[in-house]
Structure 1
Amino acid sequence: MPSIKAVLFDLDDTLWPVVPVIERAENLMFDWLRRHAPAVPARFSITELRERRKALMATDPVYQLDLRRLRHAGLTEAFLATGEDPALVESAMAVFTKARNEVELFDDVLPALSALRGRVILGSVSNGVADLEAIGLAHWFDASIAAYQLGRAKPDPEIFLAACDALGVAPRETVYVGDDPRLDVEGAQRAGLRGVLMDRQHLRPRDIPAHIAPDAVCGTLTELQQWLQDELAKP
Structure 2
Amino acid sequence: MTIRLITFDLDDTLWDIAPVIHSAEAALKAWMEAEAPRLGPVPVEHLWEIRDRLLGQDAGLKHRVSELRRRVIHGALQDAGYAEPEAGQLAEQGFQIYLAARQQVTLYEDVHETLEKLSLRYDLGVLTNGNANVHEIGLADYFRFALCAEELGIGKPDPHPFNEAIRRAGVPAETAVHVGDNPVDDIQGAQRAGLRAVWFNPTAKPWEGDTLPDAEIRSLKELPAVIERWS
**TM-score bracket relative to the smaller structure:** over 0.9
Letter in 2 for 1:119: R
Give the corresponding residue for 1:228. Answer: 227
Aligned to 1:58, the other structure's residue is in SS state: helix
- State yes or no: 1:148 paired with 2:146: no
Give the corresponding residue for 2:184. Answer: 182
**1:226–1:51 CA distance, 2 compared to 1 (3 A):** farther
Deviations 1:139-181 (A, max 9, x none): 1100111111011210001110101111111111000000011
Letter in 1 for 2:212: A
Deviations 1:74-125 (A, max 9, x none): 1111111111331211111111010001111000100000111121110010
**1:132–1:142 CA distance, 2 compared to 1 (3 A):** same
Aligned equivalents of 2:187, 2:115: Cα separation in 1: 20
Aligned equivalents of 1:99, 1:20: Cα separation in 2: 11
Aligned equivalents of 2:230, 2:164: Cα separation in 1: 24
Deviation at 1:190, TM superposition (A): 0.5
Aligned to 2:40, the other structure's residue is in SS state: helix
Aligned equivalents of 1:138, 1:58: Cα separation in 2: 35
Aligned to 2:156, the other structure's residue is in SS state: coil
2:57 paired residue among 39, 56, 59: 59
Q: After TM superposition, where is structure 1 displaced by more than 6 Å over at least 4 residues in a row?
A: none
**Contact in 1 for aligned 2:191/2:197 (Cα 8 Å):** yes
Letter in 2 for 1:41: G
Deviations 1:11-48 (A, max 9, x none): 00001111110111001100111111012233x13453
Aligned equivalents of 1:12, 1:115: Cα separation in 2: 21
Task: Select between 120-129 and 44-53 the one with higher mean Cα deviation.
Answer: 44-53
**Contact in 1 for aligned 2:50/2:75 (Cα 8 Å):** no
Aligned equivalents of 2:39, 2:155: Cα separation in 1: 31
Letter in 1 for 2:133: D
2:127 paired residue among 125, 128, 150: 125
Aligned equivalents of 2:71, 2:62: Cα separation in 1: 13
- State yes or no: 1:83 paired with 2:85: no
**Contact in 2 for aligned 1:30/1:46 (Cα 8 Å):** no
Aligned equivalents of 1:135, 1:47: Cα separation in 2: 31
Structure 2: gaps (5+ residues): none
TM-score by length of 1: 0.92
**Contact in 1 for aligned 2:129/2:155 (Cα 8 Å):** yes
Give the corresponding residue for 1:105. Answer: 107
**1:47–1:202 CA distance, 2 compared to 1 (3 A):** farther
Q: RMSD between aligned alpha carbons?
A: 1.3
How many residues are aligned here?
227
**Contact in 1 for aligned 2:104/2:137 (Cα 8 Å):** yes
